[in-house]
């Protein structure tokens, strides 16, 4: 039986049984459930919750009442009619939508927490479905699958005959009688970590003799590079309000002239300012009449200032989110890639240089501007920055000019060199200490 046919048949089955299923939750201790959910989900009420196979909204309405932004999703609109009614009765703010847990209508890494109750036994194509859940979870996001189980046994659904009164349909439910070890392995082989099964006693009212509730839990691991990127962004967001005052440039006319000489006279060149910060270089080029200037950065706080300057100048420069080590642009998109005071902050120098080479057109040039003293990079907040992002070493911090040019050459750049920029200095410098590292693709 095709997967699409199985999914439709399951949805139809629950449509027909929605009214009787709704009564099943009368056996549960709602207060105990609320306490358990609050403990599992934690105190951060900004984190959103996706309740898959929400049915009549048993979990979704509780998580919404606890204060978590919640979406409940199910194959069965008839089941969710009860969910919507319960939401109105209880004051829940949960939102409901029809959807298939095998093909979630969400962008990658947008969900903080996925929950479900009595869904795991009924899933089809289990590896594909668990991988899909992992896709939409944010790094560090959590999965909680609640189901009744037998201690040391696992799921027991279907052991006494077909669940859906159809052997063909039941054959698609490969997890319905899975052991606890098999459930743990299902999550682990699809990339979840900290996977475990916990017993949750006391959730069903004592007068009802049912199997105990358990929760299968796991986390989507945090990508170390992504975590570092978030910490970098936070550092520069916090630095943004004072950044320009502390990093002002002397003689802006001299700077704009030097930039024009570096870039060339062709005002139609496509130019990318990587790690643009408050847009000093990008806006200076826009002020000189360059028509296609774009700045990218991981700090929204810094770029907010850059955008304001661009609006004030009406210079046509645009800004968008982008990481210097993983640029969001197609190959061979720019004539010039430049940056200022970026070098010392880079965690993976080779990756960054390779990215700059990748997005440059053949014949395009990289221009990396930085302050140097005695042939080495100047970096003012090195220890504070390393501590804030949890990084022990930044390869270009205090690097020599030869070490930097070597990395550019290894990335494929030709005619690599470094030269001083006459007349270019910062307000706190008493001499010309700005240089440009350059190379050609």
Tokens of 259: 């930039």
pLDDT in tens, 70-92: 999 999 999 999 999 999 999 99
- What is the 3 state secondary structure string of the chain? CCHHHHHHHHHHHHHHCHHHHHHHHHHECHHHHHHHHHHHHCCCCCCCEEEECCCCCHHHHHHHHCCCCEEEEECCHHHHHHHHHHHHHHCCCCEEEECECCECCCCCCCEEEEEEECCHHHCCCHHHHHHHHHHHEEEEEEEEEEEEEECCCECCCCCCCCCCCCHHHHHCCCCCCCCHHHHHHHHHCCCCEEEEEEEECCCECCCCCCCEEEEEEEECCCCHHHHHHHHHHHHHHHHHHHHHHHCCECCHHHHHHHHHHHHCCCCCCEEEEECCCCCHHHHHHHHCCCCEEEEEECCHHHHHHHHHHHHHHCCCCEEEECECCECCCCCCCEEEEEEECCHHHCCCHHHHHHHHHHHEEEEEEEEEEEEEECCEECCCCHHHHHHHHCCCCCCCCCCEHHHHHHHHHHCCCEEEEEEECCCCCECCCCCCCEEEEEEEC
Report which listed range, 98-102, 274-278, 388-392, is most confident: 274-278
Are 345 and 426 a contacting pair, CB within 8 Å? no
Cα–Cα distance, 244 to 178 (Å, whole number): 60
Cα–Cα distance, 405 to 403 (Å, whole number): 6
Cα–Cα distance, 365 to 357 (Å, whole number): 9
* C-alpha triplet 181, 25, 120: angle, nearest 5°: 25
Place of tokens 């690097």: 399
If you average pLDDT over residues 255-283, what whole number do you get? 93
pTM of full prediction above 0.75: no
Cα–Cα distance, 222 to 234 (Å, whole number): 17
49-52 and 111-117 beta bridge pairing: parallel
Provide the pLDDT for residue 165.
67
* C-alpha triplet 312, 316, 317: angle, nearest 5°: 90
* C-alpha triplet 412, 418, 423: angle, nearest 5°: 145
Tokens of 139: 């790094």
**Other Cβ atoms within 10 Å of 330 Cβ, number:** 9
Q: Which residues pair with 367 in a beta bridge?
A: 338, 438
The residue with greater pLDDT, 383 or 110, is: 110
**Other Cβ atoms within 10 Å of 209 Cβ, number:** 6
If you average pLDDT over residues 346-360, what whole number do you get? 95
The band of 1, judged by pLDDT with boundaries at 50, 70 and 90, is low
If you average pLDDT over residues 207-218, what whole number do you get? 92
Provide the pLDDT for residue 105.
95
Cα–Cα distance, 258 to 289 (Å, whole number): 14
How high is the mean pLDDT of the chain?
A: 91
Provide the pLDDT for residue 390.
79
The dihedral over CA atoms of 342, 347, 351, 355, expressed in degrees to the nearest 10, equals -30
**Other Cβ atoms within 10 Å of 194 Cβ, number:** 12
Cα–Cα distance, 96 to 58 (Å, whole number): 12
pLDDT in tens, 20-75: 787 777 789 999 999 999 999 999 999 999 999 999 999 999 999 999 999 999 99
Are 432 and 419 a contacting pair, CB within 8 Å? no
pLDDT in tens, 238-267: 999 988 887 777 778 888 888 889 999 999
360-373 and 376-377 beta bridge pairing: antiparallel
């Amino acid at each position: 039986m095709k997967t699409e046919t199985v999914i439709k048949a399951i949805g139809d089955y629950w449509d027909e049984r929605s009214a009787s299923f709704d009564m099943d939750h009368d056996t549960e201790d709602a207060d105990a459930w609320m306490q358990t959910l609050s403990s599992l989900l934690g105190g951060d009420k900004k984190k959103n919750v996706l309740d898959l196979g929400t049915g009549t909204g048993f979990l979704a309405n509780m998580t919404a009442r606890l204060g978590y932004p919640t979406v409940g999703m199910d194959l069965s609109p008839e089941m969710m009619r009860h969910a919507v009614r319960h939401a109105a009765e209880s004051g829940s703010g949960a939102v409901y939508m029809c959807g298939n847990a095998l093909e979630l209508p969400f962008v990658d890494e947008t969900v903080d927490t996925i929950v479900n109750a009595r869904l795991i036994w009924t899933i089809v194509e289990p590896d594909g479905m668990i991988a899909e859940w992992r896709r939409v979870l944010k790094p560090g996001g959590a999965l909680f699958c609640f189901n009744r189980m037998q201690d040391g046994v696992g799921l027991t659904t279907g052991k006494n005959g077909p669940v859906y009164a159809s052997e063909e349909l039941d054959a698609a439910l490969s997890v319905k009688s899975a052991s606890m070890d098999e459930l743990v392995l299902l999550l682990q082989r699809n990339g979840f970590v900290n996977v475990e099964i916990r017993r949750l006693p006391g959730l069903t009212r004592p007068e009802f003799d049912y199997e105990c509730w358990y929760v299968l839990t796991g986390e989507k691991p945090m990508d170390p590079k992504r975590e570092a990127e978030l910490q970098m962004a936070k550092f520069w967001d916090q630095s943004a309000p004072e950044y320009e005052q502390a990093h002002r440039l002397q003689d802006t006319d001299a700077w704009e002239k030097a930039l024009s000489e570096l870039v060339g006279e062709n005002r139609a060149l496509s130019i990318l300012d990587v790690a643009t910060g408050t847009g000093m270089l990008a806006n200076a080029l826009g002020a000189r009449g360059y028509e296609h200037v774009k700045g990218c950065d991981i700090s929204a706080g810094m770029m907010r200032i850059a955008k304001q300057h661009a609006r004030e100048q009406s210079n046509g420069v645009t800004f968008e989110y982008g990481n210097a080590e993983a640029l969001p642009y197609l190959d061979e998109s720019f004539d010039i890639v430049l940056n200022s005071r970026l070098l010392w902050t880079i965690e993976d120098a080779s990756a960054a240089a390779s990215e700059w080479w990748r997005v440059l057109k053949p014949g395009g040039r990289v221009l990396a501007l930085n302050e140097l003293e005695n042939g080495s990079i100047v970096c003012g907040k090195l220890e504070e920055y390393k501590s804030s992002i949890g990084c022990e070493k930044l390869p270009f911090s205090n690097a020599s000019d030869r070490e930097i040019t070597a990395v550019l050459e290894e990335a494929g750049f030709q005619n690599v060199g470094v030269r001083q920029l006459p007349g270019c200095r910062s307000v706190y410098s008493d001499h010309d200490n700005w240089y440009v590292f350059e190379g050609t693709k």
